[in-house]
Chain A
């Protein structure tokens, strides 16, 4: 009797062993990654959907590091306490090694300082723009665990200044969203305008959720600028621009990428946006960008127009590529270190879709490096986890937006260098 039990136990062990993690095949196991995004906010939900879209594509390619990927999504409510708690729960209870998010810098920062850096977890944000992260990293306090795919603050203000200079505007008024991103933009664009010899007549903060922006708009109008620069989000942007135009303000507008939205175009009206030029970081001149747009359109039935969508996609994709490169059961710092292997400018180019991920798997398995050609360009991080990217100048069209001018990464870098 006893012998039988021992045999049974030994047999069970022998049968059970190959199923243990590490030797498992794709789809037999699940690796969790965490996402803390403001899904209770209207513009936060598409950002989360886009991240999930990237995860689905990777799972279609058989998952990353030998396992299927499950993205555990938590809402931040744009409340730092709630976001930090959610991040801590994901790290401690779900055991995630990779955290996507958050959107607001005021939420991402305490997560970084009190959860991911102490916990040795890689954090990749799609949209946090504050220059404070660069400072923190320069002080060596992020341990190389922090990345963000939001390149637009520095690149964007430089290209905005180029538009003003090319158009020959002599004076520009600035309206900016009164948050960390808007304040950074206002400061950077003022410096860049000064560098190309354009006068900034005034710089006016726009607070969220006001019923009217007449006072702010009047203040800007009184300085009689030749053009106006808008670093706003669609909701406030629409309200402010409507008042601006109804009070007789100029239609010469320069727009930050946050206004590259169908909502803004439809609510303001195409007839007022003929002279408006926008800036954005650009997709690379490759098939992968088209593949992303096509796949996105097929999945969601619309163009990926909206703040942070392309950035969110790239953040998720790069994180998963890095997991693949780092191999099974890798720790957070190991995955963070592998990011360089998947964003190597000399690596094999891979596209941003299932086929691209499959191709990347083969190259990485052979010990090679890949260059991820993402929805925001050939993403390449510097030592502080910041990205530079090619840029595009765009205008609104009947169907969405169309490109006016493309600036390659070397051109962007050269132009930024010429400003300093």
Chain B
């Protein structure tokens, strides 16, 4: 029994971390319409920077600053934000698929940089030597995982509330205006370029936060953690959950990650012995089919975006405008 609870806590921690990342992407794509095809670059920047800033000294590469953990995590978020700002300045003039291709390229470049620049982050060996905060006091058994989960959950809820407030504010309305018709927004005296950049950087900082927590949880990060698969997974979570809906984003993260892990478990347990070796491949087919099915029959996602009036007016006229 304790084993089941222990596993569920572990599962929920990973799912919550991914949910934070999906929320970040939702701000970019769901609310602002920015097609970020390089999710892993910002996620990875957060993970790498957190471990480099907060880790113990390691021979052969940068790191070992042993910063107080919250500072290291903030540093991870800052690194993701800085990367997003630079990338944003260069690429946000691009629209839709062009932006997707450009950001995808950034993500591949990021992975290759991490793989090859051994002086920076250990190359293919990755970054280790990170002491998880409070591990000495709590040990590293079930209690630690439970408390770490609680912290991740609080951060997830805080991120959710922040984004709910943000999209309900006039700024949130502006994001949707730009998403729907950028020229119309511009004609009303708004500066879409600046707003797009702000949304892109904010979303990326949230992705960096998720990356930092991910690195902390495993106390390790390597180029294998920032392969394009992760971008695909986070996008699948958003599309299935419902782009433009923060609750959908969280729900999608839990659902897809749950399906991903449960299918592996179920196949290992129930598939016939002679098929055991092929369960890995079967799992890929199953997950792919679910996503294709969603796109065909429910493209708006399980919890679709609800369009609301962001500031309730006093006259009924406003309600008609929805």
Query: A residues touching B (Cβ–Cβ < 8 Å)?
Result: 38-41, 44-45, 48-49, 72-75, 77-82, 84-86, 88-89, 91-93, 95, 104-107, 109-110, 113-114, 117-119, 130-132, 135-136, 139, 178-180, 182-184, 205
Contact = CB atoms under 8 A, between A and B. Distances in A.
Interface stretch (B24-32, B161-169, B193-201, B279-287): B279-287
B11 interface: yes
A79 B261 CA distance: 12
B264 A109 contact: no
B125 A131 contact: yes
A113 B3 contact: no
B272 to A, nearest CB: 13
Interface in B115-170: 115-116, 118, 122-126, 128-129, 140-141, 144-145
A92 B142 CA distance: 11
A92 to B, nearest CB: 4
Contact of A93 (B4, B123, B218): B4
B107 to A, nearest CB: 16
Interface stretch (B98-106, B204-212, B224-232, B238-246): B224-232
B223 interface: yes
26 contacts: A39-B277, A39-B278, A40-B280, A40-B284, A44-B280, A72-B269, A73-B276, A78-B224, A79-B229, A80-B222, A81-B14, A81-B230, A85-B10, A88-B7, A92-B4, A95-B3, A104-B224, A110-B219, A114-B217, A117-B140, A119-B141, A130-B124, A136-B128, A136-B129, A180-B222, A183-B124
Given A81-B14, A93-B3, A113-B218, A118 B141 contact: yes
Contact of A39 (B115, B129, B217, B279): B279
Nearest to B279: A75
B123 A180 contact: yes
Nearest to A77: B280
B186 interface: no
B70 to A, nearest CB: 21
Given A93-B7, A180-B125, A183-B118, A113 B219 contact: yes
B220 A110 contact: yes
Contacts, number: 138
A81 B14 CA distance: 8
A80 B32 CA distance: 31
A181 to B, nearest CB: 8
A153 to B, nearest CB: 12
- Interface size of B as a range: 35 or more
Contacts of A93: 3-4, 7, 265
A117 B219 CA distance: 12
Given A39-B280, A85-B14, A89-B7, 10 more contacts: A39-B277, A40-B284, A80-B225, A85-B10, A106-B222, A110-B219, A113-B220, A135-B58, A179-B115, A180-B123
B283 A113 contact: no
Which of A38, A79, A106 has the most B CB atoms < 10 Å from its CB?
A106
B6 interface: yes
Shortest beta-carbon contacts, A-B, top 9: A40-B280, A75-B280, A106-B224, A92-B7, A180-B124, A110-B218, A106-B222, A118-B140, A92-B3
A223 to B, nearest CB: 20
B10 A88 contact: yes
B69 interface: no
Given A39-B279, A89-B261, A179-B124, A114 B224 contact: no
Nearest to A136: B128
